[in-house]
């Protein structure tokens, strides 16, 4: 199965599930986020990350209201582990950091938290709330933190009911372009080996 078909199949199987307590589905949220990235002239990698930032939600069977029940599904981690085997860090790292970016923005911008939706404020508490000084420093060390913050802003805006967007097929062109760049690698005792797509 090709990567593009694999991604399309995940959205076909689980994309209609509700996006938390928001008024959009997982697919609608992903498409809106990718559209915002495209409209802001983001790279194919960041558009791909925007489309797939919540793919971790499509990889588990937890109910959509898990945060209301005090459950953090750690979707940023499961999404990261899925993506790092298929893309380079320009895709996988913003996805891994997009939850931390929410915590970061709540810490450095006193107005940010008040602009979050109620479901996002609920999940914020489960995800650790505001960052400590040490966490702020650690976040800023990662070279992908600015991209994660950009993605976070688009993530917050991508919750508009019935908003027209291009189809998933349109954005899969960016997925293919991002996957065609330098392959991710793992270190082994004998050197560096490319991860399989």
HSE at residue 8, side-chain half, CA atoms within 13 A, is: 15
Residue 64's pLDDT is: 54
> How many angstroms separate the CA atoms of 182 and 70, rounded?
39
* Mean pLDDT of the chain, nearest integer: 87
pLDDT single digits (tens) 77-119: 899 999 999 999 999 999 999 999 999 999 999 999 999 988 8
pLDDT single digits (tens) 13-43: 989 988 878 899 999 999 999 999 999 999 9
Residue 75's pLDDT is: 78
- Which pTM value belongs to this model? 0.85
Percent of the chain topping pLDDT 90 = 70
Residue 51's pLDDT is: 98
Query: Could you tell me which residue, 60 or 192, shows the higher pLDDT?
Result: 60
Residue 173's pLDDT is: 97
Query: Could you tell me which residue, 103 or 185, shows the higher pLDDT?
Result: 103
Residue 70's pLDDT is: 47
Alpha helices in 86-186 (DSSP H): 89-108, 118-126, 133-141, 145-157, 168-179
> How many angstroms separate the CA atoms of 172 and 1, rounded?
15
Cα→Cα distances 109→100, 114, 128, 131, 137, Å: 14, 10, 16, 12, 16
pLDDT(129) > 60: yes
Walk me through the domains of the chain, giving residue ranges and CATH numbers. 3-194 (1.10.3210.10)
Of 10, 79, 24, 8, nearest to 50 by C-alpha is 79
pLDDT(197) > 60: no
């Amino acid at each position: 199965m090709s990567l593009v078909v694999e991604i399309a199949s995940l959205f076909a199987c689980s994309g209609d599930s509700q996006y938390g307590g928001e008024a959009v589905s997982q697919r609608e949220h992903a498409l809106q986020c990718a559209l915002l990235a495209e409209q802001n002239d983001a790279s194919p990698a960041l558009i791909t990350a925007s489309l797939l930032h919540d793919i971790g939600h499509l990889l588990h069977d937890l109910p959509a209201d898990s945060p209301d029940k005090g459950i953090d599904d750690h979707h940023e981690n499961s999404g990261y582990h899925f993506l790092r085997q298929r893309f380079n860090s320009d895709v996988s790292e913003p996805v891994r950091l997009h939850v931390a970016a929410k915590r970061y923005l709540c810490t450095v911008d006193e107005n940010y938290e008040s602009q979050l939706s109620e479901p996002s404020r609920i999940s914020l508490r489960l995800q650790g709330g505001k960052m400590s000084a040490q966490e702020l420093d650690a976040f800023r060390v990662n070279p992908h933190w600015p991209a994660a913050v950009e993605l976070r802003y688009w993530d917050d805006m991508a919750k508009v009911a019935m908003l027209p967007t291009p189809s998933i097929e349109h954005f899969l062109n960016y997925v293919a372009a991002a996957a065609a760049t330098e392959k991710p690698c793992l270190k082994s005792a004998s050197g560096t080996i490319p991860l399989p797509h």
